Structure 1
Amino acid sequence: MSESGLQVSDLEDQDRRDIEVLWEYHVLDSGPVDGDFLLALGSHDLRVADHAGELYASGAAPLVVVTGGAGKVTSKEWSTSEAARYAERLVEMGVPRESLILEDASTNSSENFSFTRKLLLDRGIEVRTGIIVSKPYMARRARATAGRQWPEVRWFTRPQVMPVWDHPTPDVPLDRMINLMVGDLQRLRVYAEAGFQEPVDVPDDVWAAYERLAARGFDRFVIK
C-alpha cells in the first residue's frame, strides 16, 4: 500500500480495531516527572520536538539532547539531520542554545542511545535520570532500547499522548503511521532476540493484530 491519500474511512472495521490495539500498546507514558535531561528521538514528526520544548518550558529537565542523523523516512525527505531540524524548532520555541546538545550521526534507535551516551561521557556530563520524548507509538520500544543500550540511567517516557485518529496529518500520513506502528511492533520481538533492546511482553491479542495488519499489506517497515 502506498501513502497516497489513505483515509480512515478506507479502512476495514477489523483494520481500525487492530490499529487501535497497537496504538494503545505502543503508547507508554510515565506521566509528569523530572529528570537530568530530555532525549528527543529524531524522526519525520516535528511534533516530537514541539513536545520536548513544552516539557523543557515546564521545568521537566534543564538539558535537551536531540538525537538523529538520517532515518528510514527522513533520509528521503530532508536535506539536514533530524537533530538539526529538531534543534531549529526548539530554538524557535525559546529553548536556549546552551541548553541544547545535538547528536546527528545515529541512524537507528539503538544508536540514538549509544551515541548519545558516548557524547555525554566525552563531554563529562553525568546523568542519572532521562526522559525519552518520542512519537507516541515509539515509546515502548524506545524504553526497551534505552534499558539495553544505556542501563545505568533511570528512564522515563513522555510521548505526546493523543487519540490514534488525531495523530495523522498531511506531513504524517495515515498510511505511514500504520506501517511504522506495524514495523515497530515486530521489532519489539526481533530486536530483543538480537540483543538490541530489553525483552518485553507482547500480549497475544497485540501480536495477532500485528499479523493481520501485516497480512493486509501494512508491511513496508516489516523486517522480511
Structure 2
Amino acid sequence: MALSTETLRLAQLIWDYHHVNHTVQPADCIMVLGSHDLRVAERGAELWLQGYAPWLLLAGGLGRLTLGLWQETEADKFASVARQMGVPAEHILIENRSTNTGENVALAYQLLQARQIQVNRFILVQKPYMERRTLATFEKQWPGKQTEILVTSPQISFADYPNPEVSPEEVIAIMLGDLQRIKVYPEKGYQTYQPIPAEVWSAYEQLIAQGFTNHLIAE
C-alpha cells in the first residue's frame, strides 16, 4: 500500500533517532552484527578494505527474521559476501551461534578471548535503524568496559532502504519494535538508558495507532 506523507514524516523521525552519527575511526576490530540484510556485511567489508581494522568479525546464527528464511547462518552468508568483496579468509572471524544482540556480545567476546585478540576500540556495523540499540546493548553488556564503541551502518536513506526482501511497512514496524526495546530494556538490565525526545515518542505512538505493531514485545 502507498504510505501517506504524514506516515513517512513520522517514520523519518524514528529512523533519524536510531542513528547515533558516530565518525568511524581506525580500530582493532570491525564487527558486523547478524541480520537479514546483506548490505550490513557489505558495509563491514568496505571498512576492512579501507584499512580501518585488521579483523572483520561476522556474528549471527539464525535470528527471528532469518529463521525459516535462510538455510545458512547469517555470519556464514556475511563471510561469503566479505570474501567475494576481497577480504582474505585469514582476516575473517566467524561467530555463527548467536540468535540475538545479547548473544552477539557474549559469544563474540568468547571468540576474541580464545584468539587472544585485544580490542580497545570496536567498529560495530548494524542495520541503520539498529545503531542506537546496538550501542546501548554493548555499553551495558560488553565485558571490556574500557573498550571504545563506534557504531555505523550502510550509508543509505530511509527512502532507499526498503527492497524486495523488506517492505516500507515492515521497516516501520521493525523500527518501532526497536524503539520500544530501547525504552524498556534498560529497566531489565539489557541496555544502557538512551533519552528519547518527546517528538520521537509521539511519532512512535502515532505509528502504533496506525497499526505498525507486529514487532512489539509484551511489556
TM-score range, shorter chain: over 0.9
Q: Is 1:147 aligned to residue 154 of structure 2?
A: no
Quick one: which of 54, 57, 80 aligns to 1:62? 54
Identity between Structure 1 and Structure 2 (%): 38
Number of residue pairs the alignment of both structures matches: 216
Q: Which residue of 2 aligns with 1:178?
A: 172
**Any residues of structure 2 matched to 1:85-164 within 5 Å, and which?**
85-150=77-142, 151-164=145-158
Q: Is 1:217 aligned to residue 211 of structure 2?
A: yes
1:165 Cα deviation after fit: 0.4
1:176 Cα deviation after fit: 1.8
1:159 Cα deviation after fit: 1.1
Partners in 2 of 1:91 and 1:161 — Cα distance?
21
1:162 Cα deviation after fit: 2.2
1:21 maps to amino acid: L
1:152 maps to amino acid: Q
1:97 Cα deviation after fit: 0.7
1:34 Cα deviation after fit: 0.9
When normalised by structure 1's length, the TM-score is: 0.93
Q: Which residue of 2 aligns with 1:3?
A: none
1:213 Cα deviation after fit: 1.1
Quick one: which of 7, 28, 43 aligns to 1:15? 7
2:213 maps to amino acid: D
Stretches of structure 1 lacking an aligned partner (at least 5 in a row): 1-5
1:112 Cα deviation after fit: 0.8
Q: Which residue of 1 aligns with 2:41?
A: 49
Contact 2:24/2:150 (8 A) holds in 1? no
1:35 Cα deviation after fit: 0.5
Give the match's secondary structure for 1:169: coil
Partners in 1 of 2:24 and 2:107 — Cα distance?
26
2:86 maps to amino acid: G
Contact 2:31/2:58 (8 A) holds in 1? yes
Q: What is the RMSD of the two structures over their aligned residues, measured on CA atoms?
A: 1.1
Stretches of structure 2 lacking an aligned partner (at least 5 in a row): none
My pick for the range that moved more, 125-134 or 207-216, is 207-216
Partners in 2 of 1:31 and 1:116 — Cα distance?
23
